[in-house]
Amino acid sequence: MRLNEVERGDGLANRLLIKFISMVSGMRLPGAARVAFYHKDFFGGPMGAWTQAAMRGPSSWSVAERELMACMVAKWNACAFCVGAHGAIAAKDMQRPVIDEATSNFRTAKISAHLKSALLFLEVMTLRPDQLKAQHARAALNAGLSRQALTDAIAVGAVFNIVTRYANALDFAMPTPDEFDRAAEMLLKRGYGS
Amino acid sequence: MEAPFDDLARLVGEAAHRVTNAQVSSVLAATGSEKATFEIIAAAALGAGLSRWDRAVKVLVEATDASE
């Protein structure tokens, strides 16, 4: 974490809260959670609400499918922290080997055709947004995605194009696989809102 | 914006995985404020995400308008 105040918490209440959660959970509170507490009115509050809506709101996509989308955006943006965090959550429902296959080559992974078509769109949106065109949307719709399903995927893509950037810029410390697994349980129970 | 703010904001948008300790420290030194440094990072990240949202929604509307 490159900013000490984000690491420790701003204000006595948040510092105590971070220490308490770390103590109770038996693990260092991940950087993403520290950002969620920090400068809340400016960023953490609204960002948490948007992330919760995109990742846990009503959608034809399952929670695991949206977590895999987040994991893939993280991979495209070279954010190892988010690949680990969201891959771990997706793996709670989808199988770990499938997640690993997808991060290696989603085009050949054993995921649904719908999810593949969403990822094809999100890949261009993430890596080459200036080249994103109506034909990319048409391809996803022709593959059977509803307009709403593609919109929901776009929301996940937008959120994680933001999250991965601040995660990388702040250089979040990397949890261990066991810590990612425990954090995944917490995120599945609590979600992203505050 | 002036460098170092400009350099950091641009890199957060284009390739945040290449941001360095020195770049963040440089902005921190220039602003004297962790919150201000965080705000630059957050704003640059938001810009990159929201511009993608905007583009994606536009192409989806274009694709569905053309088919209706």
Q: Which one, of A174, A6, A160, A2, lies nearest residue B20 by Cα?
A: A2
Range 5-64 of B in CB contact (< 8 A) with A: 8, 11-13, 15-17, 19, 21, 24-25, 28, 34-35, 37-39, 41-42, 44-46, 48-53, 55-57, 59-60, 62-64
For A156, nearest residue in chain B (alpha carbons): B53
Instruction: Give the per-residue pLDDT at A194.
Output: 65
| B22, pLDDT greater than 60 | yes
Summarize the confidence of residues A95-106 as an average pLDDT: 96
Instruction: Give the type of residue at A104.
Output: S
Burial group, residue B21, by CB count within 10 angstroms (0-12, 13-18, 19+): exposed
* Distance between first and last Cα of chain A: 21
- For A78, which residue in chain B has the nearest alpha carbon? B17
Query: What is the residue extent of each domain of chain B?
Result: 5-67
Question: Which one of B44, B62, B66 has the shortest CB-CB distance to A165?
Answer: B44
Q: Which residues contact A182 (CB under 8 A, 6 or more apart)?
A: A25, A26, A27
Residue A161 has pLDDT above 90, yes or no: yes
Prediction pTM value = 0.94
CB distance A166–B60 less than 8 Å? no
Interface contact flag, A165 B62, Cβ < 8 Å: no
Burial call A82-107: b when 16+ CB within 10 Å, e when fewer: bbbbbbbbbbbebeeebbeebbeebe
Mutate to test the interface with B, among A5, A117, A156, A161 (most CBs of B within 10 A): A161
Rounded to whole angstroms, how far apart are CA atoms A155 and A148? 10
The pLDDT-based confidence of A134 (bands split at 50, 70, 90) is very high
Q: Which two tokens stand for residue A182?
A: 């425990």
Q: CB B56 to CB A132 under 8 A?
A: yes
Distance CA B6, CA B11 (A): 8
Residue B67 has pLDDT above 60, yes or no: no
How far CA A50 is from CA of A20, A155, B9, in Å, comes to: 26, 9, 22
